[in-house]
Amino acid sequence: MAALICDICGGQLSMDASGDFAVCESCGMKHTKDRVKAKVQEITGTVKIDDTDAVQEQIGNWETMASTAYGNSNYEEAYTYYCKILEKKVDYWFATFRKGMCLGWQSNLANIRVSEVLGGIVDATKLLLTDEEQTDKLKADGKLAMTVELFNWIQAVSNLIVNHANEFAGEVVSAAREFYERECLISELIKFNLNMMDETAYEHYEDKEGLTNLINTIISLGNTTVSNMNASFSIKTGSKYNSFWQIYEDVIENVSPDYKTITARNELSAAINKAKSNLQTWKSNFEKKQAEKARKEKEERIEKYWAEHAEEKAQLEARLSEIEDELKPLKENASRLDIQYNNISKKKNNPVPIDAEIRVLSEKRSALLKERESLGLFAGKRKKAIMEEVQALDSERARLDVIAKNQRNELIASVNEELAPIEKELTPLKKQIQDLDREKQSIKSKLTMDR
């Protein structure tokens, strides 16, 4: 009989000393006694076995080992396990993503493995979004997980470049373009990272504050990158440049304008501003959707309640109709009385008899003062006479004011007497209207209150 081999890796199986299971000498996969028996039957042609569960179990084992290795920064080992997983499950988005990240974490300044990282993310995103088993929430969580890990990698690469800035500065011309291109690379990665998150992911991700903080942190790294690209450096010759690019541009002529610092800086700044604007828009749209959702749910609850209490609803609506019928003549009558009341009240502003005499006195006083102002320096006698007349007029005005006040009070009393019967009729009428309006509002509140 042929040797018993592992269905996962093809390694040879050896029975454990206990005789309860067999162990693969290559991958360590355990096979139960019943499974070994089934494999013997398969080899002898007795029966064909289904190893689906075993494959799933092995994928789980590989994923555990891959995750452990990845967490311990053993990216080469993790890469191997993720490759094994994808051999058995080619459409697994997370393994696709992590495979690319493992290569990214093995980068160095001479080879920053951007294409592998971005390729893994793009492929993983397609798999994630087309996976019908994944809910919108899980898809949002998956995109965020990729965003976080990409950001951590970008930050590590950025720190690597910045920490070696002095080495670049020492080599001056030969390294200036190299450093600049790496900063441009970081700029592109940050823009890609910012663009990974969309409104759908924001909408379905539960921790809105955490997501906002993450994007703001990525934006902060972008601002740091802009500063790095514009940082000043002094070189051994004593010259000082605003950026590595200017060193390169100063020494080598006829360079491509596509490499100018201001272009990359402005593009990154634009991406940062767009991300900030997107956050505000997503938040506003989400809040509007939540409010609309709450409104519809409330309407559905109310509708369901009154469907179960149709008789009570009919009674309330009938009473509303009665109230409207009662209010109509009351409001018409109140409106008529209000017009009468206002027209009569205007009489309080009518002039009183003494007003004409006061007006003549005021005009005479003004004329005297005007005459006094027109007199020359040597008309002192006339000026004195005028002031005596003015004083006399002021005394007379005080007397007339008392009369005017009395006449005004008499007018007001007369108008109030005319208003009294209207007010007597209007007051209870308005009370009826107020009570009916209050009852109407109470019924409406009851019909529309949340259930």
Local confidence band at 98 (pLDDT 50, 70, 90 cut-offs): very high
Q: Give CA–CA dist 125/140, Å, rounded.
A: 11
**Full-model pTM:** 0.55
Ranges of H-type helices in 197-260: 199-204, 208-229, 244-251
- Measured between its terminal Cα atoms, the distance across the chain in Å is 74
* Res 256: pLDDT: 47
State the average pLDDT for the chain: 82
* Res 8: pLDDT: 52
The mean pLDDT of 402-422, rounded to a whole number, is 96
* Res 159: pLDDT: 79
Task: Evaluate if residue 390 carries a pLDDT over 60.
Answer: yes
Among 88, 92, 85, 93, which Cα is nearest to 63's?
85
Task: Evaluate if residue 416 carries a pLDDT over 50.
Answer: yes
Query: Which of 38-42, 127-131, 322-326 is the most confident on average?
Result: 322-326
pLDDT tens for each residue of 331-362: 999 999 999 999 999 999 999 999 999 999 99
Local confidence band at 97 (pLDDT 50, 70, 90 cut-offs): very high
Q: Are 85 and 94 in contact (CB under 8 A)?
A: no
Q: Which of 12-16, 104-108, 245-249, 424-428 has the weakest average pLDDT?
A: 245-249
* Res 257: pLDDT: 44
pLDDT tens for each residue of 30-85: 666 666 665 555 554 444 444 566 778 888 888 999 999 999 999 999 999 999 99
* Res 27: pLDDT: 59
* Res 1: pLDDT: 41
Task: Evaluate if residue 400 carries a pLDDT over 90.
Answer: yes
Q: Please give, one letter per residue, the 3-state secondary structure of 354-386.
A: HHHHHHHHHHHHHHHHHHHHHCCCCCHHHHHHH
Task: Evaluate if residue 163 carries a pLDDT over 50.
Answer: yes
The mean pLDDT of 292-311, rounded to a whole number, is 94
* Res 38: pLDDT: 59
pLDDT tens for each residue of 426-451: 999 999 999 999 999 999 999 999 98
- The residue count of the chain comes to 451
Among 105, 149, 148, 143, which Cα is nearest to 122's?
143
* Res 308: pLDDT: 94
Exposure string (b/e) for 186-201, b if CB count within 10 Å is 16 or more?
bbbbbbbbbebbeeeb
Local confidence band at 7 (pLDDT 50, 70, 90 cut-offs): low
Q: Which of 173-187, 270-284, 348-362 has the weakest average pLDDT?
A: 173-187
